[in-house]
Amino acid sequence: MKRKYFGTDGIRGRVGEGKITPEFVMRLGWAAGRVLGNGKGSKVLIGKDTRISGYLLESALEAGLVAAGVDIHLLGPMPTPGIAYLTRTLHAQAGIVISASHNPHCDNGIKFFSSEGKKLPDEVELAIERELDKPMTTVESEQLGKAYRVGDAAGRYIEFCKSTIPWTMSFKGMKLVVDCAHGATYHIAPHVFREVGAEVIAIGAEPDGLNINAGVGSTHIETLQKEVLKQQADLGIALDGDGDRLIMVDQNGAVLDGDDILYIIACSRLRRGVLEGGVVGTLMTNFGLEHALNEHGIDLVRTDVGDRYILERLQVERWSLGGEPSGHIICLDRTTTGDGIISALQVLAEINKSGRSLHELRDGYQKFPQITRNVQRGTVSASELMADPSVQQAVAEAETQLSGTGRVLLRPSGTEPLIRVTLEGPDESQIQQLSLQIADILVQIVANATDRPAVSTG
């Protein structure tokens, strides 16, 4: 069934509009309480990032959940993976995250974790949606939920992060710049890395409710690059607003994205005989990573874009490592969701064990050039466009020319009326030409169908 309210990662939008209003969020809390609660004594955790709107949405969720008879445990500012962890260890029925991740402060969102600290199954989200369409009611007064504050939430999560590497391992003598994006890790990440012995220069660690992700964090990596070079640090760690993404910078200022980090962790585990199966990537995982992993005898399988799909495939394959270029890295043998701090610790542990720098650990992986062109499809359906015989023929011819050294990917945008044409290969001029040929055919089909010019952009 098609979901009415939930997207691939919860519910997200601009504060005060659409579904991100106090009225809707209160009803969402009530509906979630009806589905996820199991009678008197049910417990749901609520955590948030540092957006000013978090106060508003937290109160609305609390009212709805209490009206449904569910007790609330408030975590305050807490990274998304920290909420997943605490949901498990505090034996809650669910955990709720108030965050819009890497988006600006004017956006916010709600997402849920199950009692196992994993994204909710589709059938549970659909059950919440069915309750949302019912009139809201309130349980009898003696059945109303209560609200509690968890005062040691940050400390619990800090200790968990440190437990994912050997307690005997020390990073004394290592100088790190840690960019917290003025987000949910501001009071956690610097402590984690200092407590394992590193010298830490923290930036993006002064949230004011409005500056989350503003010119800092994993989506504005240039700030970290400059600081690493200025401080002559060994490396830099960039997290996003809710702490589930990781991008790194080496001592020379070079950027390592999620694919680079996946390569380092996978090769580390292979060398130490602890890699469980292969690696799960997404449709956007660079072909160069697939090639480099295969050179080491490591399989890579792809799934749709989104960490929920990576997790699902890891569970099917019974593997432990997956991620995407944006920096969502899942180490399933350590935790249940993408976690920027824990992923960074795995890389630091390999630096410690191998004696090699971050720059050196990337040796053996050559990122392939990638070109993406966006073609407006107008009123023509994405499936009709991609199934057109002339498009299929152009794709087949491009794949023949690449001869297994690259790939062609056509996919519809999930938010705009666009077809994205992506090509990868070792020869940038070749993939530029091939991508243009395919895009031109799509443009012509749309123009013929609508009697007006279509547009293709790089």
Reduced 3-state DSSP string for the chain: CCCCCCECCEEEEECCCCCCCHHHHHHHHHHHHHHHCCCCCCEEEEEECCCCHHHHHHHHHHHHHHHCCCEEEEEEECCHHHHHHHHHHCCCCEEEEECCCCCCCCEEEEEEEECCCCECCHHHHHHHHHHHCCCCCCCCHHHCCCEEECCCHHHHHHHHHHCCCCCCCCCCCCEEEEECCCCCCCCCHHHHHHHCCCEEEEECCCCCCCCCCCCCCCCCHHHHHHHHHHHCCCEEEEECCCCCEEEEEECCCCEECHHHHHHHHHHHHHHCCCCCCCEEEECCCCHHHHHHHHHCCCCEEEECCCHHHHHHHHHHHCCCEEECCCCEEEECCCCCCCCHHHHHHHHHHHHHHHCCCHHHHCCCCCCCCEEEEEEECCCCCHHHHHHCHHHHHHHHHHHHHHCCCCEEEEEECCCCCEEEEEEECCCHHHHHHHHHHHHHHHHHHHHHHHCCCCCEEC
How does the average pLDDT of the chain come out, rounded?
Answer: 94
Cα–Cα distance measured from residue 22 to residue 53, given in angstroms and rounded to the nearest whole number: 10
Query: Quick one: pLDDT at residue 296?
Result: 96
pLDDT, tens only, 97-137: 999 999 999 999 999 999 999 989 889 999 999 999 999 99
Cα–Cα distance measured from residue 18 to residue 3, given in angstroms and rounded to the nearest whole number: 16
48 and 58 Cβ atoms separated by less than 8 Å: yes
pLDDT, tens only, 275-314: 999 999 999 999 999 999 999 999 999 998 888 899 999 9
Residue 379 has pLDDT above 90, yes or no: no
Mean pLDDT of 438-448: 91
Torsion angle of C-alpha atoms 392, 397, 399, 400, degrees rounded to 10: 140
Tokens matching residue 224 = 């970290």
Mean pLDDT of 448-453: 67
More confident residue, 271 or 3: 271
pLDDT, tens only, 420-432: 999 999 999 999 9
Answer whether 0.75 is exceeded by the pTM. Answer: yes
Q: Chain-centre distance of CA 352, in angstroms?
A: 26
Query: Quick one: pLDDT at residue 456?
Result: 59
Tokens matching residue 56 = 């508003």
Active-site residues, by number, are 101
Mean pLDDT of 11-37: 95
Residues paired with 147 in a beta bridge = 72
Cα–Cα distance measured from residue 69 to residue 43, given in angstroms and rounded to the nearest whole number: 10
Cα–Cα distance measured from residue 21 to residue 131, given in angstroms and rounded to the nearest whole number: 18
Residues paired with 44 in a beta bridge = 72, 94
pLDDT-wise least confident of 204-213, 261-270, 317-326, 365-374? 365-374
Neighbours of 18 (CB within 10 A): 12
Residue 39 has pLDDT above 70, yes or no: no
Query: Quick one: pLDDT at residue 458?
Result: 59
Side-chain half-sphere CA neighbours of 149 within 13 A: 4
335 and 342 Cβ atoms separated by less than 8 Å: yes
Query: Quick one: pLDDT at residue 132?
Result: 95
Pairing verdict, β 321-323 and 279-282 = parallel
Residues paired with 107 in a beta bridge = 14
How sure is the predictor about 96, in pLDDT bands with cuts at 50, 70 and 90? very high
Mean pLDDT of 47-62: 98
Nearest Cα to Cα of residue 120 among 216, 7, 233? 7
How sure is the predictor about 404, in pLDDT bands with cuts at 50, 70 and 90? confident
Neighbours of 300 (CB within 10 A): 19
pLDDT-wise least confident of 84-88, 372-376, 451-455? 451-455
Tokens matching residue 67 = 């009206």
347 and 257 Cβ atoms separated by less than 8 Å: no
pLDDT, tens only, 129-187: 999 999 999 999 999 999 999 999 999 999 999 999 999 999 999 999 999 999 999 99
Name residue, tokens 């196992």. 116
35 and 124 Cβ atoms separated by less than 8 Å: yes
Name residue, tokens 């547009």. 455
Query: Quick one: pLDDT at residue 451?
Result: 61
